[in-house]
Structure 1
Amino acid sequence: MTITTLNAQKLQTVPNVDLNKYVGKWYEIASYPQIFQKGCHCTTAEYTLSEKGYMIVENRCNRDSVNGKQSYIKGKAFVEKNSGNAKLKVQFFWPFKAKYWIIDLADDYSYAVVSHPNKKYLWILSRKSKMDDTVYQEIISRLKLNGFDLSKLQKTKQL
């Protein structure tokens, strides 16, 4: 297969996500840099189930250094029907919703990989601020097989 063929490969999500296990705090291990995350270090995302059927999303990071001023944004995540809870739409600013697809997930929910069907967004998340390098390399190998441009992936500085 050529690289063009791989990039055109349709992105698949994991078959099922137990939202009760997914909630909690995640540390960003690596990502495709996004303008809204410029200068972010020690990035985390925390998910909480609301009584209204959606998840509350709280993203934090320290600006410009690991000890920088904390930046915070709160949003909502809505599960797409018939997606096994693996496809969500995240909303930080009404009325805009972004696709949030869980494409890789540890059996014990110790890591997750999130993207968008266009593959222009990518986040590797972990329950701990540091990820075992063997686990990281296995994730990278799967991302490569799925046609992701790994030259764009940057590790996130964590304490």
Structure 2
Amino acid sequence: MATVTFKHTPVTLIGNEVKVGDKAPDFIALANDMSEVSLASSKGKIRLFSVVPSIDTGVCDTQTRRFNEEAANLANIEIITVSVDLPFAQRRWCAASGLDNVITVSDHRDLSFGEAYGVVMKELRLLARAIFVVDTNDTVTYVEYVSEGSNHPNYEAAISAAKAAN
């Protein structure tokens, strides 16, 4: 399992570690309108899952904004930000931030995404910062478990991996 710290304190990740070449695990999360979202919801597209602990904190805000900017120039690539923030809070944050190129989904209800992708921080009931790229055949082509929760992911590597997944 990946080793992760949050504010330089080790945390226990719950779930299954995902590796490049794995079949992407299915999950059920909630969209901003409370409808269910699963892996199949974006079937036929390349998916870049941007996982953040809480969307309205500094690094998470920057991460989501960065991928929102990148999404405007990416054809057939869907960028999905996943956190345990409530769907209402995600919708409010997106509206206040003027972001419309990324999709936000909440894993608050069941931690289904977090457990399927091995990013639930047991001690905090938050998701660890991570990036997963899944191709149109539901194969994982890129994985980054960010080793320290207050650090940024490798944006360039993630975007390159999403472009290469075509």
TM-score by length of 2: 0.27
Structure with bigger strand share is 1
Higher relative contact order (CA 8 A, sep 6+): 2
Structure with bigger helix share is 2
User: Larger Cα Rg: Structure 1 or Structure 2?
Assistant: 1
